[in-house]
Structures are given as C-alpha cells and as structure tokens.
Amino acid sequence: MPLSLRWLAALALVAAGAVHAQSYPAKAVRIIVPFPAGGGLDTTARTFGQKLSEYWGQTVVIENRPGASGMIGAESVVRAPKDGYTLLICSPAEVALNPALYTRMNYDPFKELAPISLAAIYPNMIVVHTSVPAKTLKELVTLAKKTPGGLPFGSSGTGSTQHLGGEWLKRNAGINFLHVPYKGAAPATTDLLGGQIPTAILGLAPIIPHIKSGRIRGLAVTSAQRSAAAPDIPTLHEAGIQFESTQWFGFLAPAGTPAEVIDRIQADVKRAAADAGVKEKLVVLGGDTTSSMPNEFAAFIRAENAKYAKVIKDAGIKTE
C-alpha cells in the first residue's frame, strides 16, 4: 500500500474511533453487580448509574447477578459483547482476591476484563465491644498478647478483605488475633453488639450507627486516610502500622472494548465521583468517592492481588 494510502487509512481509523466515542452510548447501558441487591456495591452502582444516566441521556440498568463470590456476574461481563454496553462494577473479590483463593476460575480477570476506573473506597474498621477495656489500637495489641489462644475477631467471611486484613495484622503487627468467620457483616455485627465476640474488623456501613450510639467502640480505620464518615477514628498509619485493607469498587468492561469508549466512560465516572450529591450519598454508607485512569486501576488491581496472595499463602487459607 502506498504511503499516502496508509496515512489515509490511519486517519480513517482515528476518525471512526472519535465518532464511536461521540455517539456512545446510543442505547441503554447495563451495569452488572455481582452481589445481591441492598449491599454497599449495589448501592454504589445505583448511585453512579443514576448520575451516568443523566450525563448520557440513556437508561442505565443495574442488574444483580450474585453467586460464587462474585464470579458469576463477572464472567457474564467477560462473555458480553465488547462494545461498552455491558459493564461490571467490581469489588476486590472478583478481580484481586479470587485469583489467589481459587485454583480454578472460568475467566482470567487480568486478560479478559478491561479496567476503566476506581469509583469508591470503603474503609474497614477495627471495632470492639464496650466491655473490652482497650480504648486504642495500642491497648488492643497489649490485650491480645495477654489472651491465650488469641483474641477472637469476627469478619464478614473467610477470604474477605476484613479477614485478610486481620491475618496480616496478626503476622506483621503483633496483634494476637483468632479469626471467627461469619456469613456476612450482619450476623457478625449482631454478635459483636451482643458481646459474643469481643472485637471485629468490618466495613463502616453496618457499624457506624452503633459507634454513634456508644454500643461499640471504633479503634482504627484500615484506609490510608481518615474516613469522612468517621473522621474521629484514626488510621492504622497513625498507629505506626503501614498497611491498608479496604473494600474498593470500580468499573470494568470486557477486554477488547474500544479504547475511545473506555476513555468516555472513565471521564464520566470521574465526573460523577466529583459530584457533591454522589459524595454525600456514599459518605452515609461509610465510603469515599475516587477515580483513576484505566492504567492506574489495572496496576492497582495487580498490586492488591499480590498483597493479598501473600497473606493467603502465609496464613494457609483454603477455600472450597
């Protein structure tokens, strides 16, 4: 092909990409939530979905496809057309934790999903029942060291970021913890309130009302910064522990989705994350909005996978 024709072909591709991005979306967009309705991921998806619908002038449909620790919903997006009309809002499980927890998955999150942007970060919090004498994290460390067999701590389940964060603290921060897994945050919160377990690592949403009422005591959040939802609670960093363990949510598309479409969605997710109304809704749930470029989100996912894979290996955690 003559050089001039190659230039014309290249220009045609660039023009086609620009038109594709400008025309997107031309119909309804589905956001797959790989967990049941009513949770933090679902609420975050609906909050962002409403704002994206306003920006795009198109319906954004939120579809819950729970099961298999988020893998059913994630796989459905992997198998969807690569056109940007089916998106995944993920938690750490589907893209960072499960590859380290399961020997077999029906999709490769690193090859078959295209990161778009982070959207929200929900810190976990180390909390104790008010009967526990520890009023600071340092005092909890001291108490745990004196507890034969370890101080029991509850989490929302084996392999959750709360559980893995506790295992890291046990091995690297000298907190003598004994994990007590629950099937979700609700039963763990119930037992914590009742004093059946002395301490827990949980997401902020279910426990903030009980901290405000004085029924439980927050000692530290596991994010790098203090949470806007609980600004009086210090971070692990402030206690001299350089570790983070959060529930983060972000948007992905099937790998192969046009880059121009990915960039359009990323720009609008970033715009939504900066919206005051969106920020306010997430703070109520215990979260903070955020955003990232696609390459930054991809690097973040890989770093989270590497971090937790080491915790899982060191702790000998097995899943069925």
Domain shared by 37 and 94, yes or no: yes
Residue 155 falls within a domain, yes or no?
Answer: yes
Task: Check whether residue 114 and residue 256 sit in a common domain.
Answer: yes
Domain boundary residue, one of 239, 261, 293: 239
Q: CATH code at 87?
A: 3.40.190.150
User: Mapping DSSP to helix (H, G, I), strand (E, B) and coil, where does residue 133 land?
Assistant: coil
Q: CA-CA distances (angstroms) from residue 199 to 82, 136, 139, 214, 262?
A: 45, 13, 13, 15, 42
**Rounded distance between C-alpha atoms, residue 17 and residue 294, angstroms:** 18
Strand 113-129 vs strand 246-254: parallel, antiparallel, or unpaired? antiparallel
> 2 lies in a domain?
no
Residues 117, 131: one domain? no
Q: Are residues 152 and 61 in the same domain?
A: no
Q: Are residues 196 and 135 in the same domain?
A: yes
Whether residue 69 is contained in a domain is answered as yes
Query: Which residues constitute the domain of residue 109?
Result: 11-121+247-315
CATH number of the domain enclosing 183: 3.40.190.10
- 144 shares its domain with 94: no
Residue finishing a domain among 177, 210, 239: 239
Number of domains the chain contains: 2
Assess if residue 47 is contained within a domain.
Answer: yes
In a domain, 235, yes or no: yes
Q: Do 212 and 294 lie in a common domain?
A: no
Please check whether residue 5 lies inside any domain of the structure: no
Q: Are 278 and 118 in contact (CB under 8 A)?
A: no
| Rounded Cα distance, 218 and 200, in Å | 10
pLDDT, residue 57, reads 98
Residue 184 token pair: 């979700």
Same domain, 50 and 191: no
Judge if 229 and 270 occupy the same domain. no
320, part of any domain? no
Whole-angstrom Cα distance, residue 145 to residue 172? Answer: 13
Q: Whose CA is closest to 232, among 261, 212, 206, 216?
A: 212
Please indicate, yes or no, whether residues 115 and 129 belong to a single structural domain of this protein. no
Match 């009980």 to its residue by tokens: 210
Q: Residue 201's CB: how many other CB atoms inside 10 A?
A: 26
Same domain, 133 and 231: yes
Asked if residue 97 belongs to a domain, the reply is yes
Question: Residue 11 has what pLDDT?
Answer: 43
Identify which of 87, 143, 149 has the alpha carbon closest to the alpha carbon of residue 117.
Answer: 87
Find the length of the chain.
Answer: 320
Q: What is the pLDDT of residue 15?
A: 43
Residue 271, Cβ neighbours under 10 Å: how many? 14
pLDDT one digit per residue (tens) for the chain, 320 residues: 554 545 544 444 444 444 455 799 999 999 999 999 988 899 999 999 999 999 999 999 999 999 999 999 999 999 999 999 999 999 999 999 999 999 999 999 999 999 999 999 999 999 999 999 999 999 999 999 999 999 999 999 999 999 999 999 999 888 899 999 998 888 999 999 999 999 999 998 889 889 989 999 999 999 989 998 889 999 999 989 999 999 999 999 999 999 999 999 999 999 999 999 999 999 988 899 999 999 999 999 999 999 999 999 999 997 76
Residue 90 sits in the same domain as residue 137: no
Phi, psi (rounded to 5 degrees) for 258: -55, 135
pLDDT given at position 13: 45
CB 198, CB 151: distance < 8 Å: yes
Distance (Å, whole) CA 278 – CA 290: 11
Last residue of a domain, one of 221, 239, 257: 239
